[in-house]
Amino acid sequence: AKNMSVYKYNNEMFNRMKALYDLKIAKCKELFTFLAEELKHKLNSFSETVTFQVKYNSIINDWKYILDYAKDIYNKNLTKIKNYEGNEGLEVILVRNKVKEKLATLEGLVDKLDNLFNIIKSKYAIVMSAKSLIGELMSEFKTGEKGDYKFDDLIGLMETISSKINTVNESVDSIHKTYSNIQYVEIQVENLSTSLDGYMNEIDDLKAKGSTNDYIREEMESKMLFITENINNLKKM
């Protein structure tokens, strides 16, 4: 009877421990499923950034167009102003100096465009590197979820992916902000182009006016010479 009592006690303890163990396993599986779903959610939200490549290509095309546009305006007006040098009046010199100031500003904007491109390029490299790593981790998770994936591994994976996703988002935001600066530079270039066109037209008008004045002065000098010669001839008679 005593042995039977011990057996029943041990059996009850075993059943209790098994029940606790089963409960713990169930809770662990429930927690694992929750963490796995959270990770999938993060990965799904990240997948939306795949379309960023299209946006990046568009940004680079816009940047190149604006850079070429700025360089074209600079070179065109620099050539014009060089052709105007020599034998010009004071008014032309003053306007020409204004043109040179605008060209210096334009040259600075070209340099700024190069710097902005370098920022975008460096951030793009960070995005691509992080996306590549996340892709590897996604494959690792898909493989691991079929087997016995440890909680520490899953939590570590989530932390790494979250960190990389934040890095991607921050870099993408930086690229968009930098692109806004590029668009502002484009506005500045357009304003400079308008100013330069105005100054060049002003120089053309002054040149034309100067040519007309030179012609009138030459005509007056010729007539004065004719009159003077006639007066001298009359005095000799």
pLDDT tens readout for residues 39-51 = 666 666 655 555 7
Tell me: the pLDDT tens digits for 82-113?
887 766 677 888 888 899 999 999 999 999 99
Token digits of residue 39: 């990770």
Torsion region of 64: left, alpha or beta (phi above 0 gives left; psi -120 to 50 gives alpha): alpha
- Alpha carbons 82 and 129: distance in angstroms, whole number: 48
**206 exposed, middle or buried (CB, 10 Å; 0-12, 13-18, 19+)?**
buried
H helices present in the chain, as ranges: 2-47, 52-83, 90-144, 151-236
Amino acid at 196: L
Tokens coding 195: 């100013």
**Which residue type occupies 109?**
L
**Domain residue spans of the chain:** 52-236
Rounded Cα–Cα distance for residues 144 and 151 (Å): 11
Residues 119-171: tens digit of each pLDDT: 999 999 998 888 787 777 767 665 555 445 566 676 777 778 778 888 888 88
Whole-prediction pTM: 0.68
CATH class as words, domain 52-236: mainly alpha
Tokens of 24: 């713990």
Q: Average pLDDT for residues 72-81, to the nearest whole number?
A: 93
